[in-house]
Amino acid sequence: MKPRPMIAGNWKMNGLAASLVEARAIADALAQAGSSAEVALCPPATLIGQMAEALRGSPVLVGGQDCRAEASGAFTGDISAEQLKDAGASLVILGHSERRAGHGETDELVVAKVEAALRAGLRPIVCVGETLEEREAGWAIAVVTGQVEDSLPKALDGKAFAVAYEPVWAIGSGLTPTTEQIVEVHTAIRGVLKRRLGASGEAAPILYGGSVKPSNAAEILHADEVGGALVGGASLKSADFIPIIRALG
């Protein structure tokens, strides 16, 4: 069974209350003409509650960008999966390369966070991707499949999560892999999911992320095994994000 595609926006550390107008514009566009995709916005934690309120009744889902593995406790500044859920989130991005590189997150920690998200009833989007050095050395497939193997819990239902392939060198750079390179990596990820989860491994969408914009979205989104997109910069403005959703057709 082919999973429903997902287009998710990662606002990163951008956005103030005034930016909610962009989220409402996306919801309005979907109200006028629906989409075959599940659409989600992952604002900074400060906006999750307000965004969930602003999008109440619309099909646009709200997600977090990270969570702590523990449910509660003395972890100053951190946020648990339960707290994200309580604020109105229904999914959470985990293992983003900006957290792996900037916060020393290991595959092992990502597994614990994925388990926490599932425990709280959130759908994790688990990010993987190679650096430029790794790609140039010919290691892209080995690195990415290794991250998928090691970042997912042993027992998992394919319907409960998504994977995002985000080459580190493509994030925010304007560079994208060729369609053939994207298909090669996504096919390898699907192979790992099917081997690990059996038929259920077909149910997880594999999103592509890294410099997706209105001009390249259609080609990327229609490539084999691409089950949607995780969009950074181009998700901040509805005028960019809506055409990306529409590119799915």
Active site residues: 96, 166
Q: Residue 75 is which amino acid?
A: F
Binding mask 157-196 for ligand PEP (x = CB under 6 A): ---------x----xx------------------------
Paired tokens of 115: 């388990």
3-state secondary structure of 198: helix
- The single residue among 129, 201, 210, 227 that binds ligand PEP, judged by CB under 6 A, is 210
Q: Least Å distance between CB 35 and ligand PEP?
A: 19
Q: Residue 10 is which amino acid?
A: N
15 part of the interface to ligand PEP, by CB under 6 A: no
- The single residue among 91, 148, 232, 245 that binds ligand PEP, judged by CB under 6 A, is 232
65 part of the interface to ligand PEP, by CB under 6 A: no
Number of residues counted as binding ligand PEP (CB under 6 A): 13
Paired tokens of 99: 């957290």
Q: Which is nearer to ligand PEP, 125 or 152 (CB)?
A: 125
125 part of the interface to ligand PEP, by CB under 6 A: no
Q: Least Å distance between CB 63 and ligand PEP?
A: 12
- Of 14-22, 84-92, 111-119, 232-240, which part binds ligand PEP (CB under 6 A)? 232-240
- Residue 156, C-beta contacts closer than 8 angstroms, at least 6 positions apart: 114, 118, 196, 197, 200
Q: Which is nearer to ligand PEP, 15 or 232 (CB)?
A: 232
- Burial per residue of 187-213, b for 16 or more beta-carbon CB atoms within 10 angstroms, e otherwise: ebbbebbeebbeebbebbbbbbbbbbb
Beta partners for 163?
Answer: 126, 206
- Burial per residue of 147-180, b for 16 or more beta-carbon CB atoms within 10 angstroms, e otherwise: bbeebbeeebebebbbbbbbbbbbbeeeebbebe
Q: Which is nearer to ligand PEP, 27 or 169 (CB)?
A: 169
Binding site for ligand PEP (CB under 6 A): 10, 166, 171-172, 209-212, 230-234
